[in-house]
Amino acid sequence: MFPVAGLGTRFLPATKAIPKEMLAIVDRPLIQYAVDEAREAGIEQMIFVTGRGKTAIVEHFDIAYELESTMSERGRDMRVLDATRATPGDIITVRQQVPLGLGHAIWCARAIVGVEPFAILLPDELMIGRKNGSGCMKQMVEAYGEVGGNLVSVLEVPHEEVSSYGVIAPGELRGKLTEVRGLVEKPAADKAPSNKIVSGRYILQPEVMRVLEAQGKGAGGEVQLTDAMAKMIGTQPFHAVTFDGRRFDCGSKTGFVEATLALALERQDIGAEVRAMAERLLRG
Ligand code: UTP
């Protein structure tokens, strides 16, 4: 499930008419990175929780008839569009009419989720696995095969940075897996139970829908997923998977620019040129 109904206010005016998830890191929109990550993990059905002004996201995975016929008449390489092709029926959309929060967006898809566990990917958190390593969701699916239950992906950050994030209270530690005993949203650095921050990828049991159903608004007047997950801890197995890779917070301007630079520098086709350009710019 890809909740993409947020307003993206931190990116205005860019996101007034264009969904935040369609902003591109080099030449791939954020939603494409997230869908590719899900596919790599073996996920075939994609649920988009959309809202008004978000139709470009669904169009992106449709056939662009005029573009494709013109490109093919001109003998252009069509492989550039490969990742945008969806198997018919594999993309399902549901609308969140009012952006009442991430928890509410997820609850809007309850009829599609039904009685099975499901994965959530927040596309504005760009998760890049190590070179030749697995992506974040694949690492989580592997961990799910071991422990089942509910999983969140976490990253370790310097202690002084935890106060902007959801943080886990850790229990038993086993390799990349940490038992989750509690979740705290944006704790003060000296009160944080760990330096492991929750980072935009989840595998949850469908019972979370019932918890969300009964839940009122939390911080910021929004229905918070963190609150629902916190209620499930202790009633169901809950673990965190430490992601082996890098995360870019592309919902923020600096994170977006960092991701653009980092991925551009690593590209075979433009990396060397970008490096030379960056060095020129830094020299002034
Ligand atoms: P954010 O907290 O980044 O909010 O949401 P936002 O609205 O997208 O952006 P800002 O803070 O105004 O700049 C995290 C994820 O949850 C989705 C967003 O689309 C994003 O993927 N979301 C958030 C919803 O789908 N619905 C909501 O009501 C809120």
pTM: 0.95
| Cα 256 to ligand 1 centre (Å) | 15
Pocket test for ligand 1, best of 46, 96, 97, 124 (most atoms within 8 A of CB): 124
DSSP helix/strand/coil, 248: strand
Q: For 9-55, write each residue's pLDDT tens digit.
A: 999 999 999 999 999 999 999 999 999 999 999 999 999 999 998 99
With a pLDDT cut of 90, the percent of the chain lying above it is 88
What would be the CATH architecture of the domain defined by 2-251?
Answer: Alpha-Beta Complex (3.90)
Q: Which residue, judged by its Cα, is nearest atom 25 of ligand 1?
A: 5
Q: Omega of the bond prior to 88 within 30 degrees of 0, cis?
A: no
Residue 185 has pLDDT above 90, yes or no: no
Query: How high is the pLDDT of residue 79?
Result: 93
Does pLDDT of 1 surpass 90?
Answer: yes
Domain spans of the chain? 2-251
pLDDT score of 231 more than 90: yes
Output 161 or 47, whichever has higher pLDDT.
Answer: 47
CA distance 236 to 148: 10
Cα 101 to ligand 1 centre (Å): 7
**What is the whole-number distance in angstroms between the Cα of residue 105 and the centre of ligand 1?**
9
Find the 8 Cα to ligand 1 centroid distance in Å.
6
Cβ–Cβ < 8 Å for 4, 102: no
Could you tell me if the CB of 19 is within 6 A of ligand 1?
no
Supply φ then ψ for residue 202, to 5 degrees: -145, 150
pLDDT, tens digit, 9 for 90 and up, residues 87-136? 899 999 999 999 999 999 999 999 999 999 999 999 999 999 998 899 99
